[in-house]
Amino acid sequence: MPSRYRSYLRFLGRRLAVTAMTLFGLMTLVFLMIKVIPGDEARIIAGPEASPAQVEAVRVKLGLDAPLVVQYVRFAGRVAQGDLGTSISTLQPVVRDLAEVLPSTLELVVATMVFSLLMATAAALVAASRRGDMVDSSSRVVAVIAGGLPTFWLALVLQYLFAAKWRIFPISGQQSFQFIADPITGSPLLDALLRGNFSAFVNAVDYIVLPATALGVFFAAQLFRTLRASLISILQSEFIVAVRSKGASFARILLRHALPNAMGPTITLAGIQLGIMVGSAVLVEGIFGRQGLGAYLQNAVAQKDTFAVLGTVLVIGAFVCLINLVVDLLQLALDPRVRAAQFEGAAR
Amino acid sequence: MNAAPDLAAAEAVEAAAPELLRVEGLSVSLPGGVALVDGVSLTIHRGERVALVGESGSGKSVTAQAVLRLNDRLRIDGRVMLDGRDILSLSEREMAGVRGGRIGLAFQDAMVCLDPIMTVGDQIEESLRIRGVGRAEARRRAIAILTELGVHDAADRLGSYVHEFSGGMRQRVVLAMALVAQPDLLIADEPTTALDVRVQRQVLDLLDQFAANHALSVLLITHDMGIVASFADRVVVMYSGRIVEDASVFDLFERPLHPYTQGLLAAIPRVDRSQDELAAVPGSPVPPALRPSGCAFHPRCAKATEVCRTEVPPLETMGGRRVACHHPATDGVHAV
Amino acid sequence: MTLAAVRRSVQSSGKLDMFVFALTGFLIFLAIFGPLLAPDSIYRSDIGNALQPPSGAHWFGTDDQGRDIFWRLVAGAQATLLSSVLIVAAYSLIGVAVATIAAVGPKWLDELLMRITDIGLALPGLIVALGFAAALGPSLESAIIAKAITGWPVTARLLRSILMQTMTAQYVVGAQVLGASKWRLMTRHVLPNSLDILIVKWAGDIGATVLILAAMSFIGVGAQAPSAEWGAMVADAKGYVSSAWWAVAAPGAMIAITSVAFSLLGDILQVWRDPSLRDSR
Amino acid sequence: MLFELAHITKTFPTAQGRITSLDDVSLSVGEGQAVGLVGESGSGKTTLIRCALLLTQPDGGAVTFDGTSMLGATREQVRQFRRQVQLVFQDPFSSLNPRMTVEELVGEGLVIHGIENSAARRRDSVAEMLTVVGLRPDDMKRYPNSFSGGQRQRIAIARALAIRPRLLVCDEPVSALDVSVQAQVINLLREMQKALGLTILFVAHDLAVVRHLCAHVYVLNRGKIVESGSRDQVFDHPTHPYTQALLAAVPIPDPRRRPPRRQPAPAAS
Query: Is the Cβ pair C123, A37 closer than 8 Å?
Result: no
Q: What does the pLDDT read at residue A261?
A: 92
Q: What does the pLDDT read at residue D268?
A: 44
Pairing of strands B19-29, B75-82: antiparallel
SS3 D98: coil
Give me chain D's average pLDDT, please: 90
As a whole number of Å, the CA-based R_g of chain D is: 20
Q: What does the pLDDT read at residue C280?
A: 52
Query: Is the Cβ pair C174, D87 closer than 8 Å?
Result: yes
Query: Is the Cβ pair B198, D245 closer than 8 Å?
Result: yes
Residues 5-24 of D with CB under 8 A from A: 13-16
CB distance from B121 to chain D under 8 Å? no
State pTM to two decimals.
Answer: 0.85
> Which chain C residues touch A34 with a CB distance below 8 Å?
135
Q: What does the pLDDT read at residue A2?
A: 55
Residue A87 · residue A307 · CB < 8 Å: yes
Residue B96 · residue B182 · CB < 8 Å: no
Q: What does the pLDDT read at residue C274?
A: 65
> Which chain A residues touch D19 with a CB distance below 8 Å?
none
Where residue B208 falls (left for φ over 0; alpha for ψ -120 to 50; beta otherwise) is alpha
- Write b or e for each residue in A91-128: b if 16 or more Cβ atoms lie within 10 A of its Cβ, otherwise e: eebbbebbebbbbbbbbbbbbbbebbbebbbebbbebb
Strand ranges in A200-313 using DSSP code E only, listed in sequence order: none
Domain boundaries, chain B: 4-97+235-323
Instruction: Give yes or no for residue D175 having a pLDDT over 90.
Output: no
> Which chain D residues touch C190 with a CB distance below 8 Å?
none
Residue B142 · residue B121 · CB < 8 Å: yes
Sign for the CA dihedral angle at B306, B312, B318, B321 comes to: positive
Q: What is the pLDDT of residues C129-172, one digit of tens each?
A: 777 766 677 788 878 887 887 888 888 888 888 888 888 888 99
Q: What does the pLDDT read at residue C143?
A: 81
Domain boundaries, chain D: 3-97+166-248
Q: Write the single-letter amino acid at B227.
A: I
CB neighbours of C111 closer than 8 A, spacing ≥ 6? none
> Which chain A residues touch B97 with a CB distance below 8 Å?
247
CB neighbours of C60 closer than 8 A, spacing ≥ 6? C54, C68, C69, C70, C73, C246, C250
As a whole number of Å, the CA-based R_g of chain C is: 22
Query: Is the Cβ pair A344, D15 closer than 8 Å?
Result: yes
Residues in chain B, overall count: 336
Q: What does the pLDDT read at residue D127?
A: 93
CA distance C128 to A208: 26
Pairing of strands B85-86, D17-29: unpaired
Q: Residue A242's Cα: distance from chain center in Å?
A: 39
Class of the CATH domain delimited by B4-97+235-323? alpha beta
For the ranges A302-316, B231-245, D51-65, D251-265, the lowest mean pLDDT is seen at A302-316
CA distance D213 to D183: 11
Class of the CATH domain delimited by D3-97+166-248? alpha beta
Average pLDDT over residues A46-68: 78
Strand order in D34-39's β-sheet? D85-88, D167-171, D199-204, D34-39, D216-221, D224-230
* Alpha helices in B102-219, H assignment, sequence order: 110-113, 120-129, 135-148, 154-157, 167-179, 197-214
C64 or B261, which is more confident:
B261
Instruction: Give yes or no for residue D255 having a pLDDT over 80.
Output: yes
Chains B and C, touching by 3 or more CB pairs within 8 angstroms: no
Q: What does the pLDDT read at residue C276?
A: 60
Q: What does the pLDDT read at residue B15?
A: 56
Query: Is the Cβ pair C171, D96 closer than 8 Å?
Result: yes
CB neighbours of A35 closer than 8 A, spacing ≥ 6? A68, A71
Q: Write the single-letter amino acid at C252.
A: G
Residue D9, strand partner residues: D60
Q: What does the pLDDT read at residue A42?
A: 73
Q: What does the pLDDT read at residue D111?
A: 92
Q: What does the pLDDT read at residue C278?
A: 56
- Write b or e for each residue in A211-245: b if 16 or more Cβ atoms lie within 10 A of its Cβ, otherwise e: bbbbbbbbbbbbbbbbbbbbbbbbbebebbbbbbb
* Alpha helices in A62-150, H assignment, sequence order: 68-80, 94-129, 134-148
- Phi and psi angles of residue D38, each rounded to the nearest 5 degrees, phi first: -100, 135
Closest C-alpha to B44, from B211, B179, B181: B211
Largest interatomic CA distance in chain B: 66
What percent of chain C stands above pLDDT 90?
Answer: 3
Q: What does the pLDDT read at residue C134?
A: 63
* C119 closest CB neighbour out of A29, A157, A228: A29
Ranges of residues in chain B with a pLDDT under 70 are 1-16, 331-336
CA distance B195 to B167: 6
Q: What is the pLDDT of residues C217-235, one digit of tens each?
A: 888 777 777 777 888 888 8
CB distance from B101 to chain A under 8 Å? yes
ipTM exceeds 0.85, yes or no: no
> Which chain D residues touch A347 with a CB distance below 8 Å?
15-16
Instruction: Give yes or no for residue A345 having a pLDDT over 60.
Output: no
Q: What is the pLDDT of residues C252-265, one digit of tens each?
A: 888 888 898 988 88
Residue D204, strand partner residues: D38
Q: Among A326-335, B209-218, D250-259, which range has the highest average pLDDT?
A: B209-218
Instruction: Give yes or no for residue A242 having a pLDDT over 80.
Output: yes
Closest C-alpha to B67, from A241, A239, A240: A241
SS3 D209: helix
Strand order in B85-86's β-sheet? B35-45, B19-29, B75-82, B85-86
Query: Is the Cβ pair C211, A148 closer than 8 Å?
Result: yes
Q: Give, to the nearest 10 degrees, the angle between helix B167-179 and helix B197-214.
A: 20
CB distance from D250 to chain B under 8 Å? yes
Q: What does the pLDDT read at residue B102?
A: 93
Average pLDDT over residues C4-15: 51
CA distance C261 to D61: 61
- Phi and psi angles of residue D197, each rounded to the nearest 5 degrees, phi first: 65, 30
Q: Distance between the two ends of chain A, CA-based, in angstroms?
A: 21
Residue A94 · residue A308 · CB < 8 Å: yes
CB neighbours of A314 closer than 8 A, spacing ≥ 6? A23, A26, A27, A30, A79, A84
Q: What does the pLDDT read at residue D134?
A: 87
Closest C-alpha to B318, from B333, B308, B303, B331: B333
CA distance B197 to D221: 13
For the ranges A175-189, A257-271, B140-154, D245-259, the lowest mean pLDDT is seen at A175-189
CA distance A252 to A261: 13
Average pLDDT over residues C100-105: 86
Query: Is the Cβ pair C177, D91 closer than 8 Å?
Result: no
CA distance A143 to A282: 23
CA distance D106 to chain C (A): 11
What percent of chain D stands above pLDDT 90?
Answer: 57
Q: What is the pLDDT of residues A161-202, one digit of tens each?
A: 898 888 888 888 888 888 887 888 888 888 888 888 888 888
Closest C-alpha to C196, from C246, C271, C133: C271
Domains of chain C: 14-32+63-276 (1.10.3720.10)
Q: What is the pLDDT of residues A204-227, one digit of tens each?
A: 888 999 999 999 999 999 999 899
Instruction: Give yes or no for residue D206 having a pLDDT over 80.
Output: yes
What distances in angstroms separate CA C241 from CA A166, A287, C43, C244, D159, one per listed residue? 14, 12, 21, 5, 69
Q: Write the single-letter amino acid at A197.
A: N
Q: Write the single-letter amino acid at B312.
A: V
Query: Is the Cβ pair B96, A249 closer than 8 Å?
Result: yes
Residue B51, strand partner residues: B220, B235
Instruction: Give yes or no for residue A62 having a pLDDT over 80.
Output: no
Instruction: Give yes or no for residue D35 having a pLDDT over 80.
Output: yes
Q: Other C-beta atoms within 10 Å of A76: how many?
A: 13
SS3 A181: coil
Q: What is the pLDDT of residues A93-138, one digit of tens each?
A: 888 998 888 998 999 999 999 999 999 999 999 998 888 788 888 8
CA distance D183 to A226: 46
> Which chain D residues touch C178 with a CB distance below 8 Å?
82, 86, 108-109, 112, 159-160, 163
Query: Is the Cβ pair B271, D41 closer than 8 Å?
Result: no
Q: What is the pLDDT of residues D69-117, one digit of tens each?
A: 998 888 899 999 999 999 999 888 889 998 899 999 999 999 999 888 8
Q: Other C-beta atoms within 10 Å of B18: how many?
A: 9
Burial (CB count <10 Å: 0-12, 13-18, 19+), residue A148: buried
Sign for the CA dihedral angle at B124, B130, B133, B134 comes to: positive
> Which chain A residues touch C220 with a CB distance below 8 Å?
298, 302
CA distance C76 to A150: 16
CA distance B47 to B45: 6
> Which chain B residues touch A335 with a CB distance below 8 Å?
116-117
Q: What is the pLDDT of residues A147-165, one digit of tens each?
A: 888 888 899 889 888 988 8
CA distance C211 to A220: 16
For the ranges A10-24, C1-15, D56-70, D240-254, the lowest mean pLDDT is seen at C1-15
Q: Residue A83's Cα: distance from chain center in Å?
A: 23
Comparing alpha-carbon positions, the chain C residue that sits nearest to A278 is C124
Q: Give, to the nearest 10 degrees, the angle between helix A259-287 and helix A198-235.
A: 140
Interface test with D, best of B6, B143, B270, B300 (most D CBs within 10 A): B270
